[in-house]
A and B are shown apart, each in its own frame.
Chain A
Amino acid sequence: MDLVGLLAFNVLTGIATLILITLGLGVIYGMMRIINLAHGELMMLGAYTAVMATGAGVNIWIAMLVLPPLVVGLIGLILERTVIRFLYGRMMDTMLATWGISLGLIGLVTTLYGNVVRGVSTPVGSFDIGRYGASLYSLVILVTALSALAAMFLLLRFTKFGLILRATMQNPRMAAALGVQPSRIYMATFALGAALAGLAGGVLAPISGVSPAMGAAYIARAFITVLGGGPAIITGTGLASTLFGSINELVSFKTTPVIGDVALLTAAILLIRVLPQGITGRYLRRSL
């Protein structure tokens, strides 16, 4: 019974982690059709922000939850203004450009801070599920992921900004005719996606080794989840993360992390074969 509790908790944490690392990518890909290959590096920058800020004596919670999204959001804004905005509607070119950005960021951070693994200590302790110990920090990840998801939902569903955003994504020309500047909206969306990636990096910094190349370990899973989720960003990310996260955690527990990843990929291939547009391409199409 204790074990079931621990497993359930781990599955929830796995799902939350997937939601966190996917949401930013989902916003940029789902809304703007830009394949952002620098997503992992934006996460890395978020993690570095958290490490640097705690090193400078900033309160750990602010360093983890507040600063990374702000800093990385700003970097996203700069990248959008200087590179991405010239490439809208050219999918291959944006892929190449963001890949270049990703390599550039890895190189830059390596030059600045060295090819060293850094880290922050986890701010909270552990608790017991029956006979087993579990990390309280997983609870932080869980809460952050759900809050981010809920906040995105509220933003898109109930605010004027959300409405304009959705309208621009659906039909930029019509939105422009009604007095909206699509380029402004694109800029805001990209910055928002980058900020979410930064948040993911900041929150994951205490439990992973923070190094310039850390993004590579997350990017593949994030892409698979976005594609599996389909066009509705929030419902899709949530559903696909739940599906893939549970499969990955449970199979990893029963066998090894390698087989867990194989199971995740197999599930993704089957899903894309049956539902080429992702889960929300067929079901819940009208959701967000």
Chain B
Amino acid sequence: MSKGSIDRRGALKLALSAAAGTVAMPFVSRTGLAAEPIKLGSLLDGTGALGLEGKRMIETTEYTVDLLNKAGGLLGRPIQLIAYDTQSSMQLYTQYAQQLALKDKVDVIQGGITSASREAIRPIFGRSKTLYFYNTQYEGGVCDRNVFCTGSTPAQTVNHIVDCALKNWGKKAYIIAADYNYGHITASWMTKFMKDGGGSVLGTDFFPLDVTNFSSAISRIQQAQPDLVLSALVGANHSGFYRQWDAAGMKSKIPVGSSVFGLGDELTTMDPSTTNGIITCYGWYNNLDTPATKAFVSGMQAKFGADVTDLSELDTATYDGIMLWAEAVKKAGSIERDRVTAALESGLSIDSPTGKVTMDGATHHTIRNTYLAEPENRKWKILATFPDSFPADTGGACDLIKTPRTNKQFTPDLKG
């Protein structure tokens, strides 16, 4: 036997001391660090089809939590970020949502990108009574006391695109949209706004997310001869539409307005001839000429590198979600769900890169600035500013102060 081997007694001692150490550790660390961290859970797609958008949102989450921790955390406690990459898979969303709510027992959840993912995890947090923030521009209408939505909604954005189109282009529209809940509901809002403005919709086509060939769609649009096209196409495959539209020479004939275009990196990867002139409307653009915007962009670039040039509303909404929650925690002096919710419903506001953002207590949506812009040679050209837009789509139907037990998503009424 060699000298280096461990005898039985030695092994026993080692095991005992290790076990004692493990048992003692929590007490040591608790007394050592004084306060237990507040847990913030994050569910975003860092990889897969939505990785492009998700990556920046994940970075924003880290950036914002860092900001809060550098300022001393909340209620004297540091914030611990528990983040899972949902890999653009619905199954992982539900799986990790359960894990965050039941195993990690986080105090708040920030996340979800597509409307499909939000609807997959919303009921889980409702059951586990975990506060949930959905920080994406979306089709509007979610009315659930446990959920706060910080992104812009159609009444704040799409109606401005439609107004601009009706004024400058004509009365006849053709709608093309992605074939899932976001596309369908956004298309109904587009239809409603067109009709309200005295226009008409010649046709509406939906495309599953894996469609790459738009030649038949482009022929149909040409046959219908609309004055403008409204697009709610989503994702990598659908970006082919804009290229094929340009290639068919339609770009100069029929203008396009879009509710999603430019949230990813379209401006840096597509040719200016393809992107120029597509009308969009979001709650934030990364070249807004305000100190808050510049501070946000340069802060992100300092942390994640100078190539962070494609920030969008998805990122500032993520920032808003975390900051609004932090503000509410400070006001409530607690991280308990009911007290934080009450604080949020009291008309809390924060200063965000987009300007002042106020949480509307009745709808759990934000009152915020929105902007109309078009790409011009890889930069956004801001055409108009709409200060303090109210989420009128959700606000028309949803009042969580009066009826806190509501739990549904309101969609536009097309009969009226």
Interface residues of A (CB under 8 A from B): 3, 6-7, 10, 13-14, 17, 110, 115-119, 121-122, 125-128, 131-138, 206-209, 211, 213-214, 216-218, 249, 252-253, 256-258, 260
Complex-state Cα separation, A7 to B253, whole angstroms: 19
Q: Does B271 contact A (CB under 8 A)?
A: yes
- B247 x A137 contact (CB < 8 A): yes
Contact A257-B271, Cβ < 8 Å, known A119-B243, A133-B248, A213-B236: no
- Note all chain A residues with C-beta closer than 8 A to B55: 115
By the criterion CB–CB under 8 Å, are B244 and A135 in contact? Answer: yes
B222 & A6 in contact (Cβ 8 Å cutoff): yes
- Across the interface, do A7 and B219 meet the contact criterion of CB distance under 8 Å? yes
B247 touches A249 (CB 8 A): no
Q: What band does the interface of chain B fall in when counting residues whose beta carbon is under 8 Å from A?
A: 35 or more
Shortest CB distance A90–B (Å): 31
Mask for B179-218, Cβ within 8 A of A = 1, else 0? 1000000000000000000000000011110111101110
Docked CA distance A3–B219 (Å): 8
For B223-266 the 0/1 string (1 means CB < 8 A from A) is 10000000000001111100110111110010000000000111
CB distance from A12 to the nearest CB of B (A): 11
Stretch at the interface among B22-30, B34-42, B45-53: B45-53
Are A13 and B215 closer than 8 Å at their CB atoms? yes
User: In the complex, what residues of A have CB within 8 A of residue B248's CB?
Assistant: 126, 133-135
| B210 with A216: CB separation less than 8 A | yes
The 7 closest A-B pairs by CB, nearest first: A126-B249, A252-B216, A121-B271, A115-B51, A135-B247, A209-B239, A133-B249
Assembly CA distance A136 to B244 (angstroms):
11
> Which of A14, A117, A134, A218 meets B52, CB within 8 Å?
A117
Q: Which residue of B lies closest to A136 (CB)?
A: B247
Q: Which of A14, A115, A121, A214 contacts B213 (CB 8 A)?
A: A14
Task: Find the B residue at minimum CB distance from A252.
Answer: B216
B273 within 8 Å of A (CB atoms): yes
Which residues of the partner chain A approach B403 to less than 8 Å between Cβ atoms?
none
Q: Which of A116, A118, A211, A249 contacts B215 (CB 8 A)?
A: A249
Interchain nearest-CB distance for B258 vs A (Å):
15
Known A3-B223, A135-B248, A135-B249; contact A217-B216, beta-carbon cutoff 8 A: no
Q: Contacts A126-B250, A209-B240, A257-B207 given; 4 further ones with Cβ under 8 A? A: A115-B51, A117-B265, A118-B269, A132-B219
Once the chains bind, are B240 and A208 in contact (CB under 8 Å)?
Answer: yes
Is B274 engaged at the interface, CB distance under 8 Å to the other chain?
A: yes
Q: A119-B270, A258-B206 are in contact. Are A132 and B47 (CB under 8 A)?
A: no
Docked pose: A277 CA to B219 CA in angstroms: 35
Question: In the docked arrangement, what's the CA distance between A202 and B120, Å?
Answer: 38
Closest to B222 in A: A132
Q: What would 21 A/B residue contacts be, using CB atoms closer than 8 Å?
A: A10-B216, A13-B215, A115-B51, A115-B52, A119-B239, A119-B243, A119-B271, A126-B250, A128-B249, A131-B222, A133-B222, A133-B249, A134-B248, A134-B249, A206-B247, A213-B49, A214-B236, A217-B237, A249-B215, A257-B205, A257-B211
Q: A122-B247, A133-B248 are in contact. Are A17 and B216 (CB under 8 A)?
A: no
A208 to B210, CA, bound (A): 11
Return B358 CB to nearest CB of chain A, in Å: 35
Closest Cβ neighbor of B209 among chain A residues: A217
B76 → chain A closest CB, angstroms: 39
**CA–CA, A82 and B383, complex, Å:** 57
Tell me whether B52 and A253 are in contact (CB under 8 A).
no
> Which residue of chain A has the shortest Cβ distance to B220 in the bound complex?
A253
A211 surroundings in chain B (CB, below 8 A) = 236
Cross-chain contact B243 with A208 (CB below 8 angstroms): yes
Q: Min CB distance, A183 to chain B, in Å?
A: 37
- Contact residues of B between 353 and 379, Cβ < 8 Å to A: none
Contact A117:B222 (CB < 8 A) given known A125-B249, A207-B244? no
For residue B247, which residues in chain A have a CB less than 8 angstroms away from its CB? Answer: 122, 126, 135-137, 206-207
Q: Which chain B residues numbered 153 to 190 have a C-beta less than 8 Å away from chain A? A: 179
Q: Pick the residue among B223, B265, B273 that contacts A121 (CB under 8 A).
A: B273
What residues on A are CB-neighbors of B271 within 8 Å? 119, 121
A132 to B270, CA, bound (A): 25
A267 to B411, CA, bound (A): 37
Given A209-B236, A256-B206, A257-B207, A117–B264 Cβ distance below 8 Å?
Answer: yes
Q: For A249, what are the chain B residues with a Cβ–Cβ distance below 8 Å?
A: 215-216
- Cross-chain contact B48 with A209 (CB below 8 angstroms): no
Contacts of B217 in A (CB 8 A): 252, 257
- Give A132 to B216 CA distance when docked, in angstroms: 13
Task: Give the distance to chain B from A206, nearest Cβ to Cβ, in Å.
Answer: 7
**Residue in B closest to A3 when the chains form the complex, CB atoms:** B223
